[in-house]
Amino acid sequence: MTGPDPILRSVEATLFAAEQPMSVEQLSAHLGGAEVRPALAALEAHYRERGIRLVERGRRWQFQTAPDLAHLLRREREQLRRLSRAATEVLAIIAYHEPVSRAEIEAIRGVQTAGGTLDVLMEAGWVRVAGRREVPGRPVIYATTPEFLSHFGLASRRELPGLDELRAAGLLDSVDEAYRTLAEDPADGADPVITASDSAPLEKPAQSA
Amino acid sequence: MTGPDPILRSVEATLFAAEQPMSVEQLSAHLGGAEVRPALAALEAHYRERGIRLVERGRRWQFQTAPDLAHLLRREREQLRRLSRAATEVLAIIAYHEPVSRAEIEAIRGVQTAGGTLDVLMEAGWVRVAGRREVPGRPVIYATTPEFLSHFGLASRRELPGLDELRAAGLLDSVDEAYRTLAEDPADGADPVITASDSAPLEKPAQSA
Amino acid sequence: MSEELPFDPPLPPRAAPEEQLHLDLEGWEGPLDLLLDLARRQKVDLRQISILALVDQYLAYIGQAEALKLELAADYLVMAAWLAYLKSALLLPKAEQEDPSPEELALRLQLRLARLGAMREAAARLLARDRVGRDVFVRGRPEGLRLDRRSVWQCDWYALVSAYGQVKARTAPVVHMVRTRPVMTLDSALDRVSAMLGVRIDWTELREFLPPHAEPRLRRSALASSFVAALELARRGQAELRQDAAFGPLHLRCVAA
């Protein structure tokens, strides 16, 4: 093949390297007064079916990506991430108590809640701002979204297990209690020492005789 | 004409829009795992005679203008910052000897290398710290980067000008190594006898023609 | 040696005229660089270059720059001294040569010059390549590829519900439950001790009042509550207590009405 026409190559390279779209006049001046219109027309036709196009916008020429490939310029990569323990707790509190303010969440959790935690839940699409509570300070209150229900396979919030069910499932066992179970059972022979903290409400005593 | 292959168009558009050269792996990942090598080969051939080229530099691909059109594009552009002679020399020594320590650079140049010289090369993105040599003192060693290859239009280090000749002439060996070779195998040296009137034989000089 | 230098100054002086002599050396990257430049100026194949001639040239050049700035010239002067030594050694009869021989030193010097020369050539050829931004140009205004990372958060029903359970368990008011254990209450101990004491007028040890076959934990509880019961009976005037020694056995008997 004989290489393309020199003016065509020059126009091609110039527009490629240009930081701004260029008019016919600018191009021509840049290329020493050459007649650039035939080259532009030939280039425009050459690139019509390719991944890039030569287009005229407001009397200025530029290369750009073919419109049907625009999606290639902006790719989304999905990254699966597990919700943190803190965020899961906050989500659960909102689900059980909604609508609920941040102060109320903190009162229930017993610890401060980082602002980022609520942001994550809102980014996940599970929590939304549900207005403000009409009390002094008018705090923002939060509630769950329909996406929350669908993600967790719930028809409604009423399907969340109640406290009794949680207790029955052992989910309300506190750490203390679990510890005592461990600590007491093996100590079968040891005499229980009655201490002030230990003795409070006596259960029905086992009487001998 | 039927339009080019979709993968070819996608590779073309992606490399056109990319701000950095891209490796085959990066391209393939960007295009959902597509096999991009045939498209790269076809594009490289397609653009060979045009005003822009598709080139491989340090295992990464990029579009750039054809070298013969430099005169058109050079004007109105700010000149590259001129490298000092010292920096140029240090860069060449690193490129031809890499990985190389500062002491080794200084042994070749016969002068101390100002710290700023290496900084300039690293700031330009052409040189990087490539670890430490496992010898006493564990000196830092330097090597070139893919940006270095890309800037100087090298597909790989093997394309460094004159590399093979320099290596064959032993000019990339240290003076100690070279001397040992000459001393052990004097028959090999062209003119091994050093006389007072006319001194030692220089090795084949590294002159560009 | 003529008053003229045998070669042109390799680089035009860059400094003010009064400093010209001082700064002549700034054109070189050290003595090795100057030597290489001088060697090139012999305009012969480097293979045939004369080290002796090179030494003479170097010494002549340094001699020209009389008013050298010492801090700048120290390296050059050290090289000059070494070259002068090398020259005299090369001219001496071989028998008087030391180790390493001057021939070895000269050869090593030439090897160094060759290596520096090679790198200088390589640098020049490198810089002459088509360089991006000077000879070839990348796209002036690339659209850029954006990769947006979107987090898809994962959490399941169990994690949600158990997290709530943990919160409630953690923050519920602490209620300590004493698990059922064998105890003897004070009331029952009072009844028991009082009933057993009713007929005894002899001192009887407290232990006698405890259930005879109780398991250890119940026995301990019974001991405690029986002791309190004994104190209570003594307070009511229904019993007397006696202990012969500290930590000794405790005895009680009924008070005759």
What is the chain B residue with the closest CA to A48? B3
Residue B77 inside a domain? The answer is no
Helices (H) and strands (E) in chain B, counts: 10, 6
Domain count, chain B: 2
Model confidence over B32-41: pLDDT tens digits? 888 999 999 9
| Same domain (yes/no): B25, B121 | no
3-state DSSP: chain A helix, strand, coil percent, rounded to 5?
45, 20, 35
- The pLDDT-based confidence of B207 (bands split at 50, 70, 90) is very low
- Over residues C70-114, the pLDDT tens digits come to 666 778 888 888 998 888 888 887 766 567 788 888 888 888 888
B79 pLDDT band, cuts 50/70/90, is: low
Token look-up 């190389």 returns B100
The mean pLDDT value for B72-101 works out to 82
In a domain, B203, yes or no: no
Same domain, A101 and A178: yes
Residues from chain A that touch B73, judged by Cβ atoms under 8 A, are: 13-14, 17
- Whether residues B15 and B110 share a domain: the answer is no
Distance of CA A202 to the CA centre of its chain: 51
List, for residues A60-75, the tens digit of each pLDDT value: 899 988 988 888 888 7
Residue A115 lies in a domain: yes
User: pLDDT band at residue B49, thresholds of 50, 70 and 90?
Assistant: very high
pLDDT exceeds 50 at position A179: no
| Domain identity same for B89 and B184 | yes
Q: Please report, for the domain that includes residue A183, its CATH number.
A: 1.10.10.10
Q: Which chains contact B through at least 3 pairs of Cβ atoms less than 8 Å apart?
A: A, C
Residues on chain A touching B16 (C-beta within 8 angstroms): 51-52, 63, 65
CB C179 within 8 A of CB A177: no
Is the pLDDT score of A187 beyond 50? no
For residues A134 and A90, state if they share a domain. yes
Shared domain check, B180 and B111: yes
Task: Read off the tokens for C9.
Answer: 């100054």
Contacts of B69 in chain A (CB under 8 A): 9-10, 13
- B-contacting residues in A 4-23 (Cβ below 8 Å): 4, 8-14, 16-17
Identify whether A76 is part of a domain: no
Residue of A nearest to C210 (CA): A208
Q: Which domain holds residue A104?
A: 85-198
Q: Which two tokens stand for residue A152?
A: 């967790």
CA distance C126 to chain A (A): 23
Residues A102 and A169 in one domain: yes
What is the reported pTM? 0.60
> Would you state the pLDDT for residue C19?
40
Per the CB < 8 A criterion, the answer to whether C212 and C177 are in contact is no
Q: Tell me if A204 is assigned to some domain.
A: no
When CB atoms are compared, the residue of B111, B175, B208 closest to C29 is B111
Structure tokens at A45: 């036709």
The token duo for B89 is: 């020399």
Residues A96 and A190 in one domain: yes
Distance from CA of C131 to the nearest CA of B (A): 5
Mean pLDDT of C114-129: 91
Q: Which residues 67-106 of B have a C-beta within 8 angstroms of A? A: 69, 72-73
pLDDT in tens, C164-208: 888 888 777 666 666 677 888 888 888 888 888 876 778 888 888
d(CA A160, CA A169): 13
The answer to whether position A208 is within a domain reads no
Q: What is the pLDDT of residues A100-110, one digit of tens each?
A: 999 899 988 88
- For the segment C48-58, the average pLDDT, to the nearest whole number, is 83
Question: Is the CB of A75 less than 8 angstroms away from the CB of C162?
Answer: no
What are the pLDDT digits (tens) for C141-171? 888 777 777 788 888 888 888 888 888 887 7
pLDDT score recorded for residue C97: 59
Burial of B35 (0-12, 13-18, 19+ CB in 10 A): exposed
Does an H or E element contain C2, and which? none
**CA pair distance A117, A106, nearest whole angstrom:** 12
Token pair belonging to A111: 């610890």
Give how far C48 is from chain A: nearest CA, Å: 48
- Say how far apart CA A22 and CA A14 lie, in whole Å: 9
Looking at the fold, whether B37 and B124 belong to one and the same domain comes out as no
User: What chain B residue is nearest to A13 in terms of C-alpha separation?
Assistant: B51
**Mean per-residue pLDDT of chain C:** 78
The 10s digit of each residue's pLDDT in C194-243 is 888 876 778 888 888 888 888 888 888 888 999 999 999 889 888 888 88
Answer whether residue B80 is part of any domain. Answer: no
Same domain, A96 and A188: yes
Q: Are A52 and A64 in contact (CB under 8 A)?
A: yes
Q: Residue C130: which pLDDT band, with cuts at 50, 70 and 90?
A: confident
C-alpha distance from B148 to closest chain A C-alpha (Å): 20
Q: Say if residue A119 is in the same domain as residue A27.
A: no
